Amino acid sequence: MADPTPIKIFDTTLRDGEQSPGASLNHQEKIEIARQLEQLGVDIIEAGFPITSQGDFEAVKAIGKDLAQTTVAGLARCVDRDIERAAEALRNAHKPRIHVFCATSKIHLDHKFKKPFEAIVEMSIKGVEKAKSYVEDVEFSPEDGSRTGIEELVTITKAVIEAGATTVNIPDTVGYATPEEYGRIFSELRKRLPEIDANGIILSSHCHNDLGLAVANSLAAMQGGAQQIECTINGIGERAGNAALEELVMAINTRSDYYKNYTTRIRTKEIFKTSRMVSNLTGLTVQRNKAIIGLNAFAHEAGIHQDGMLKNRNTYEIMNPRDIGVPESKLVLGKHSGRHALGDRIKALGYTLDEDALNKVYEDFKHLADRKKDVYDEDVEALLDRRLSEGRKLFELVAFKVTAGTDETSVALVELRDSAGTQIKDTAHGDGPIDAVFSAIQRITNVSVTLEEYTTRAITGGKDAQGEASIRISHSGKKVRGRGVSTDVIEAAAEAYLAAINRIKTMDEIKAERAEEDPAPAQP
Ligand SMILES: [Zn+2]
């Protein structure tokens, strides 16, 4: 029997995933995630779209330089300055790739470009040639590929391969394809273009989940002949998201009897850790019933199932939680745990803090252990989240005091410190203590926002459990999340509210920076 075909996993959590509404990662957070993705064994990391912001440029630059084993891609339109910027960001990368794209579907040509298809092919060839003048490894994507006619796809694929593209990705940009038709695109291309096989060109899939078909479509593409799959951790991404890496890989592994001709390099035991990290740092919580990594995915609560489970695991469980790295028992730290023990725990969670950062987290940890007997992984993650988000901490909570009761208006006194170190106090009234705290924060920070959603939950068990507050606010049409964790629910709410306001403030800065470029270019 022939060896199975290695499928390259192209992770775009830091590019397409980062475009999820509300998820904006800072520099340090992106680096932590990239390092963990390398541990996970992905083949390619798309680290950003360098022309769109200084932040994306810096991320591509730093990650390319940092990672020795993984190919790092930067996205660019088929426009000279986009490609130059991507090349500049990738100049010192160990394994650079420039990913250029150009829309090809009729709907895009008629409404966006107002250009004939021939002009698009010309533009794409120029883009690929330009990228090729900087790097050997060039990927091309016809944006909205799944809604482009097969004749056009054949023409453009042939043209960009001649121009030097080594990977051709056919994105289902709007999540419209069905598995059979999407898979057929790949088999058709391979059949009609012998140069694909002859030159070792990789075809790639990129699926969005608007109809919930992203993973099914990606698997169909693979069976049709795609040898690279683009996906994100937890399936995050624009709108309904991208194909979820963990679902894809576990489908291939769990059904190795069926997908026996395919294999990936993913170390599945790193999946759980990576998923947790991405969810913590982006603030995009994983739904409980999410396949593979949701809290309920391996929990069997119905009595009948439990009975079956006791007799034989395989009765109701097709995967072993251990395979994706779910820890077997809860490790608990406490007041007497040393810096070394905390450091080990942090490493086990997938983070790579330097000495200085570790010392700071240890300070926070000791402070927490004074208030809480048992410190769980979730608590440690919350401490890390707070420390890593410091880059965007424009305002910090210093202290607050609230009076509240059944028959009185709540009053809050809040004290914040701004980035210059100035402490500012103010008081406000509200319907209840949390409303009063929010009003006081708004007065001090002077950002006008509307509260859209506020939820709180306990992240660990016990009476001294930490409460997590999640907040969604809107500000001039933009929705932003914030998360805060504390043993005190009001403090958690205040932290979450401030985190969201800090995000808005950083976004305003990024927007000012982007305004010099042209407005938000579309992407595959
Ligand atoms: Zn996409």
Mind listing the pLDDT tens digit for each residue in 12-23? 999 999 888 767
CA of 174 to the centre of ligand 1 (A): 8
Look up the pTM and report it.
0.87
List the shell of residues around ion ligand 1, using CB closer than 5 Å: 16
Six-digit token pair at 494? 């205040």
How far apart are alpha carbons 316 and 323 in whole angstroms? 16
Beta strand 450-458 with 467-475 is antiparallel
Cβ atoms within 10 A of the Cβ of 258, count? 11
CA 193 to chain centre: 34
User: In terms of Cα–Cα distance, which of 9, 14, 7 is closest to 35?
Assistant: 14
How far apart are alpha carbons 216 and 144 in whole angstroms? 18
How far apart are alpha carbons 129 and 121 in whole angstroms? 12
Q: C-alpha distances in angstroms, 388 versus 24, 28, 421?
A: 13, 7, 19
CA of 250 to the centre of ligand 1 (A): 21
How far apart are alpha carbons 291 and 515 in whole angstroms? 40
CA of 267 to the centre of ligand 1 (A): 24
CA of 292 to the centre of ligand 1 (A): 22
- What's residue 309's pLDDT? 58
Beta strand 408-418 with 423-430 is antiparallel
The radius of gyration of the chain's CA atoms, rounded to the nearest angstrom, is: 24
- What's residue 308's pLDDT? 58
Instruction: For the chain, list residues with pLDDT below 70.
Output: 1, 22, 299-313, 315, 390-393, 507-523
CA of 208 to the centre of ligand 1 (A): 6
CA of 199 to the centre of ligand 1 (A): 26
How far apart are alpha carbons 265 and 251 in whole angstroms? 14
> Would you say how long the chain is, in residues?
524
Q: Which residues of 474-499 are buried (b: 16+ CB within 10 A; e: fewer)?
A: ebeeeebbbbbbbeebbbbbbbbbbb
CA of 238 to the centre of ligand 1 (A): 7
CA of 207 to the centre of ligand 1 (A): 7
- What's residue 70's pLDDT? 98
Cβ atoms of 30 and 20 within 8 Å: the answer is: no
CA of 434 to the centre of ligand 1 (A): 38
Beta strand 202-207 with 167-172 is parallel
CA of 225 to the centre of ligand 1 (A): 20
Cβ atoms of 30 and 53 within 8 Å: the answer is: no
CA of 68 to the centre of ligand 1 (A): 26
Mind listing the pLDDT tens digit for each residue in 300-339? 554 455 565 556 667 678 899 899 998 877 778 998 999 9
Six-digit token pair at 406? 């059944």
- Residue 134, classed as helix, strand or coil, is coil
CA of 375 to the centre of ligand 1 (A): 38
DSSP letter for 136, please.
S
What stretch of H or E contains 431?
A: none
User: In terms of Cα–Cα distance, which of 229, 319, 212, 237 is closest to 265?
Assistant: 229
User: In terms of Cα–Cα distance, which of 240, 232, 247 is closest to 279?
Assistant: 232
Residue owning tokens 């489970």: 309
CA of 399 to the centre of ligand 1 (A): 43
Q: Which residues of 209-242 are buried (b: 16+ CB within 10 A; e: fewer)?
A: bbbebbbbbbbbbbebbbbbbbbbbbbbbbeebb
Angle between helices 355-371 and 377-388 (to 10 degrees): 130
The sign of the dihedral angle between the CA atoms of 183, 259, 72, 175 is: positive
Six-digit token pair at 481? 């999340």
At residue 143, what are phi and psi to the nearest 5 degrees?
-60, 140
Sheet-wide strand order for 395-405: 395-405, 408-418, 423-430
CA of 524 to the centre of ligand 1 (A): 5
CA of 176 to the centre of ligand 1 (A): 12
Q: C-alpha distances in angstroms, 142 versus 149, 203, 230, 364, 471?
A: 11, 12, 14, 48, 38
User: In terms of Cα–Cα distance, which of 509, 515, 481 is closest to 21?
Assistant: 481
CA of 8 to the centre of ligand 1 (A): 17
Please give the angle made by the CA atoms of 458, 30 and 240, to the nearest 5 degrees.
Answer: 65
How far apart are alpha carbons 239 and 210 in whole angstroms? 7
Angle between helices 80-89 and 54-66 (to 10 degrees): 40
Burial of 36 (0-12, 13-18, 19+ CB in 10 A): buried
